[in-house]
Amino acid sequence: MTPLLIVDGYNIIGQWEKAAKENWSFETSRDKLAHMLAEYAAFEGFEVVLVFDGLYSERLTRSCEKQGPLEIVFTRHGESADQYIERLADQTPRRRELLVATSDNVEQTVVLGRGATRIPARELIVRMSQSRKRQSGRIGDTRVKSFPVFERLPKDVRETLERMRLGKE
């Protein structure tokens, strides 16, 4: 069974040093986080539910958007992300690995009591970054291995092609 990672979106954004340093808007931060989580989910084999708080919004209904292994949820007016996460954790079968990413101490305690593994916000950011580096390394390895014909070319032809690739010719 695919592990489920539930992410408290605004909590992660609040701990994301790069977002603060580069002064990203909430919309930009949400988009970048969703993109990173989609890559992370696909590479690591997780199903991810990214939850954003609608507690103080005017949104009358909850909205859900599916992007591959990533589901993005905006809670409705009056419903906090914590409430949604707790309910989802309760509905998740005990035999399924459940991870919850938040740095909210109360929420961490609640989800631990429901059998989930907690991941602090900064740790999730580090994990996503490390996963991306591993993914890039594997892609680089694949590229080299996928062109065995190149290795069979005469050395002068390989050098010429490499100069062309680098724009030096």
Distance from C-alpha of 68 to C-alpha of 47, rounded to nearest angstrom: 9
The architecture CATH gives domain 4-165: 3-Layer(aba) Sandwich (3.40)
β-pairing verdict for 70-74 and 63-67: antiparallel
The mean per-residue pLDDT over the stretch 2-14 comes to 95
**Residue 127, amino acid:** R
pLDDT in tens, 24-44: 998 999 999 999 999 999 999
Query: pTM for the complete prediction?
Result: 0.76
